[in-house]
Amino acid sequence: MKTYNLKKIGSLLYTTGAAKGKGGIVNFTLLADTGSTYTILPWEHLSSIGLESLMAEGETRITTASGIVIAPQFKVEWFSCCGLLLDSFPVVAHTLPDQMSRFGILGMDYLRRAKAKIDIFNAQVKVEE
């Protein structure tokens, strides 16, 4: 397993990632969230790589602090985080409110595929190589 440091802000843990679409590559910061079923990226990140609402492959229900939201789901050409690049990875488009609007969420869909082990005390994640 390979170990990656996470950035700790308060009690939250963040990492960086990248995704590729037909329009290019976008880099972003992600909140590592074991309570999120899906990996979620803000609309601005997805539109910057050429994805638009009409290109969604489906919709999914997500529970947010403000209630249940029906959000479009896309497949990016690839998604990279913590040293693991996954081809044709599904992401949900949803912009978080206020201060979190520039962040995405690294959800359990990615963490399971990476076989990730999060060490919250040392702010690290271990993933299979």
Render pLDDT for 38-65 as a digit per residue (tens, 0 to 9): 999 999 999 999 998 888 889 999 988 7
Q: Which amino acid is at 125?
A: V
What is the rounded average pLDDT for all residues in the chain? 92
The domain tally of the chain equals 1
pLDDT value of position 67: 85
Render pLDDT for 96-119 as a digit per residue (tens, 0 to 9): 777 776 789 999 999 999 999 999
The range of the structural domain enclosing residue 22 comes to: 2-127
Q: Show the beta-strand stretches assigned E in 1-129.
A: 2-5, 7-9, 12-21, 24-32, 40-41, 58-64, 67-81, 84-93, 104-106, 117-119, 124-127
CATH number at 24 reads 2.40.70.10
pTM, whole model, 2 decimals? Answer: 0.91
Q: Which comes out higher in pLDDT, residue 66 or 37? A: 37
Instruction: Write the DSSP assignment of 51-83 as a string of letters.
Output: --GGG-SEEEEEEETTEEEEEEEEEEEEEEETT
